[in-house]
Amino acid sequence: MSNSHSESYAAAGVDITAGYRAVELMKSHIARTMTAGVCSDVGGFGGLFELDVTGMEKPVLVSGTDGVGTKLKLAFLMDKHDTVGIDCVAMCVNDIICCGAKPLFFLDYIACGKNVPERIAQIVAGVAEGCVQSGAALIGGETAEMPGFYPADEYDLAGFSVGVVDKKAIIDSSSMAKGDVVIALPSSGVHSNGFSLVRKVFDVENKDIKTPLESLGGKSIGETLLTPTKIYVKPMLELFQAVTVKGVSHITGGGFYENIPRSIPDGLGAVIDRAAVRILPIFELIQKTGSIPERDMFNTFNMGVGMSVVVAEQEADKALAILRANGQEAYAIGHVAESQDKVRIC
């Protein structure tokens, strides 16, 4: 590509050669994600993946797409770009794991005001790390330089993932019953939702977010908020093999009140023990600083619970043991009851 250069395009603000350099810089990161199904190399017009459905009776593809949202504003302010890619992957793969699907591959899309190859490579390094954590291959993507549309030092990041599950193993709520146990998988922090409110509460564009705070374990507000989203794929895949999982909810925007009901059938509801929820210090600081009612907190943020899982009471201890044996802390936060309210926190 050394002879590909347009002076006219460069004068309009688009540097084609920067795009080629960015691809070269990201190749080593992408190489970390390669799995047996990958059939293409970086730079082609499409990402090829050979689907292995050995042992599956009726394979079903499951897809998920999302972005990082206004959490990116924190990355700009902190000038730290190597973790938001993990968030992007997490928001997709954590969704499809709720169906019982194993993520196969991921593609990203980066739109920026100016293509700075080193910064793009940092972003993709995070995407690659998220793919490694979830067992997905990064088989393609797109970087679009859009001067005049985005500021030169800003960008947007989105992506999507595809997974596969045998139709008979799809997680649904048909067997959920009164007395089932709701298990919490702790979050790593705010994850990637509610940042419009977070930014308003802390006035991040104008206030100090870089000074370490004792209440946050010696980390700054900015550093704490940029903590990447926890990826639950690998321990959850192990859990599916060991017990009958009746429902899974990825706790994202809308918090407990929007997400937990999505895995609860009509006539039943999740009764959450408020005292059992291990609320992280960052949420306490957000609530105190913004004078936010507790219900709004639980209706906006994950509050320290990134994913909830419903299993039969007799399998709860086994489920907890399996998750912990696979490096995922977990604990019971409630039970399923006959109710017209899909979730109650009490």
For the segment 261-273, the average pLDDT, to the nearest whole number, is 97
User: What's the whole-number mean pLDDT along residues 291-311?
Assistant: 98
pLDDT at residue number 294: 97
> Residue 17's pLDDT is what?
83
> Per-residue pLDDT for 4 more than 70?
no
Per-residue model confidence as pLDDT tens digits over 149-182: 999 999 999 999 999 999 999 999 999 999 999 9
Integer Cα distance of 187 and 302 in angstroms: 7
46-72 mean pLDDT: 96
Count the alpha carbons within 13 Å of 243 in the hemisphere toward its beta carbon. 23
pLDDT in tens, 204-258: 999 999 999 999 999 999 999 999 999 999 999 999 999 999 999 999 999 999 9
User: What phi, psi does 38 have (nearest 5°)?
Assistant: -70, 130
Alpha-carbon distance of 49 to 137, in angstroms, equals 9
Give the confidence band of 8 by pLDDT, cuts at 50, 70, 90. confident
User: pTM of whole model > 0.85?
Assistant: yes
Closest CA to 136 of 189, 64, 28: 64
**3-state SS string over the chain?**
CCCCCCHHHHHCCCCHHHHHHHHHHHHHHHHCCCCCCECCCCCCCCCCECCCCCCCCCEEEEEEEEECHHHHHHHHHHCCCCCHHHHHHHHHHHHHHHHCCEEEEEEEEEEECCCCHHHHHHHHHHHHHHHHHHCCEEEEEEEEECECCECCCCEEEEEEEEEEEEHHHCCCCCCCCCCCEEEEEECCCCCCCCHHHHHHHHCCCCCCCCCCEHHHCCECHHHHHCCCCCCCHHHHHHHHHHCCEEEEEECCCCHHHHHHHHHCCCCEEEEECHHHCCCCHHHHHHHHHHCCCHHHHHCCCCCCEEEEEEECHHHHHHHHHHHHHCCCCCEEEEEEEECCCCEEEC
Distance (Å, whole) CA 74 – CA 80:
8
Q: Indicate if the pLDDT at residue 9 is higher than 80.
A: no
Task: Give the pairing of strands 181-186 and 102-112.
Answer: unpaired
Confidence (pLDDT) at 2: 55
pLDDT of 1 over the 60 cut:
no
* Chain segment 112-121, per-residue pLDDT in tens: 999 999 999 9
Cα 343 to Cα 321: distance, rounded to the nearest angstrom: 26
Q: Which of 323, 335, 105, 166 is nearest to 230 (CA)?
A: 323
| Phi and psi based region of residue 146 (left: phi greater than 0; alpha: psi -120 to 50; beta: remaining) | beta
| Mean pLDDT value across the chain | 95
CA distances from 304 to 43, 281, 318 (A): 39, 9, 22
